[in-house]
Amino acid sequence: MSLNLPTLRQQIDSLDHKLITLLNERAQVSLDIGAAKRQAAAATSNGDSPEEDNTHVYIPGREKQVFEKVMRLNPGPLANENLCAIYREIMSASIALQKDVLVAYLGPVGSFSHDASMKRFGDSVQYASQGTIADVFEAVERGRCQYGVVPFENSIAGSVVPTLDKFIKSKVKIRAETYLPVHHYLLSKTSAEAVRRVYSHPVALAQCQTFLKNNFKGIELVPCASTSEAAQLASKEKFAAAICNKVCADIYGLDILHADIEDQQDNTTRFFIISDAWDAPTASDKTLLMFTVDHRLPGALCDGLKVFKDHNLNLTKIDSRPSLLKPWHYVFFVECAGVHGDSEVMSTVIEELGKYCLDVKIVGTYPDQRPQDLHY
Ligand SMILES: C=C(O[C@@H]1C=C(C(=O)O)C=C[C@H]1O)C(=O)O
């Protein structure tokens, strides 16, 4: 069969016609869903601030379901990754139709947080760059942004301490988690031999220790607030370089000196989407709890952790930070899988934990997002 280009283009035109009609039908339903969410919120509100619209249009559990459905129904030839990227944008437009959404991220543009935010929320929502992780928390706390994206832990460097410390003091809640594969680049305006100083975020420097030891032993390493700030600083200096995302080369006019310099190629960072509220239970959720331990009771931490075992809950993360209330007094973070914060099981867990631990608090509860299922 000979392939006729004008006929094939006619086919595309006719399919586009159908697609545009269907996309708008979907958008109309999404507008109705927005109205239904406002109705439901009004029915449960106490009428304190009727002019303030606190409804949540971003529903991570529902989005996870949509992505799963898209991949299940995909007959090809489109790859799941490409179809999911298209759906990311369809849902982004759908969110923006329901409400103006502003997402705070650790900037400036070109940071891994920016990348993670864009991949999570798409092109149609608005973004607000923040100077530090603490500023992202503050933007959400003060209601300037409805959502914020903060790095939580990295597969090589471990926990992101400023994020943990902000959770101790802040009232924000975790609404979703997301994962980003992280590849670092050494960017500069000069040659590798002429570099005298390397800027980056401390967690990024920690991910490239072997590379730095082998190639830049003894060189000045300057920590800064983000990898994109590092790129910005390096772009203003003659003999400096930055460890950052590849996209910073174009954004800040830098050359690539070395690619993929992270110590492990499967380097991944987990981010949290924070907000003033978590969402309803889904088929599979995780919950992050925070508590201090009463040291007057010997073995209190051990007894506390046993509560999770007794309820058959798998622990997926455990960490501690100084409470800053007194020396050698710690706040513990424990994440468990298979349970939502609003469930009866969780109420029982919290009650039982209370026997051994003080100030037990849920930091967030969110759909369990396996990194391998993220195809966008
Ligand atoms: C349409 C909704 O709102 C948003 C948009 C979605 C979509 O376009 O499919 C899914 C979840 C929400 O983030 C919804 O809650 O169902």
Verify that 173 and 61 share a domain, yes or no. Answer: yes
Q: Is residue 18 part of a domain?
A: no
pLDDT, position 327: 84
Residues 284 and 244 in one domain: no
E strands, the chain, where?
A: 102-106, 126-130, 147-154, 158-159, 173-181, 185-188, 197-200, 220-223, 240-244, 255-258, 268-275, 285-293, 314-322, 330-337, 357-367
193 plus 342 within the same structural domain: no
Across residues 285-314, what is the average pLDDT? 91
| Domain assignment present for 230 | yes
Kindly state whether residues 202 and 144 are assigned to the same domain: no
- Number of independent structural domains in the chain: 3
Report the CATH number that the domain containing residue 319 is assigned in CATH. Answer: 3.30.70.260
Taking 80 as the threshold, does the pLDDT of residue 294 lie above it? no
Whether 134 and 271 map to the same domain: the answer is yes
How many Å apart are CA 369 and CA 197, to the nearest integer?
Answer: 38
ipTM over 0.90: yes
Of 229, 261, 293, which residue constitutes the final position of a domain? 261
Which has more confidence, 221 or 46? 221
Q: Is 1's pLDDT higher than 80?
A: no
The reply to whether 44 falls in a domain is no
Reply yes or no on whether the pLDDT at 235 is more than 60. yes
Mutate to test the pocket of ligand 1, among 23, 24, 88, 94 (most ligand atoms within 8 A of CB): 94
CA-wise closest residue to 57 among 77, 75, 70, 40: 40
> Does 51 score more than 80 pLDDT?
no
Mutate to test the pocket of ligand 1, among 95, 101, 369, 376 (most ligand atoms within 8 A of CB): 95
Computed over every residue of the chain, the mean pLDDT equals: 95
Q: Cβ < 6 Å from ligand 1: which residues?
A: 30, 33, 57-59, 62-63, 66, 91, 94-95
Residues 96 and 240 in one domain: no
pLDDT digits (tens, 9 = 90+) for 7-24: 999 999 999 999 999 999
pLDDT for position 209: 97
Are residues 220 and 237 part of one domain? yes
d(CA 187, CA 261) in angstroms, rounded, equals: 11
Q: Of all protein residues, whose CA lies closest to atom 15 belonging to ligand 1?
A: 59
Neighbours of 298 (CB within 10 A): 7
Range of the domain at 250: 185-261
One domain for residues 73 and 105: yes
Question: Of 49-58, 82-91, 169-178, where does mean pLDDT reach its minimum?
Answer: 49-58
- How large a percentage of the chain has pLDDT more than 90? 89
Are residues 189 and 334 part of one domain?
Answer: no
The CA distance from 300 to 369, in Å, is: 31
pLDDT in tens, 336-374: 999 999 999 999 999 999 999 999 999 999 999 988 888
Atom of ligand 1 nearest to the CA of 93: 8
**Whether residue 171 is found in the same domain as residue 239:** no
Mutation probe of ligand 1 site: the residue of 31, 63, 103 with most atoms within 8 A of C-beta:
63
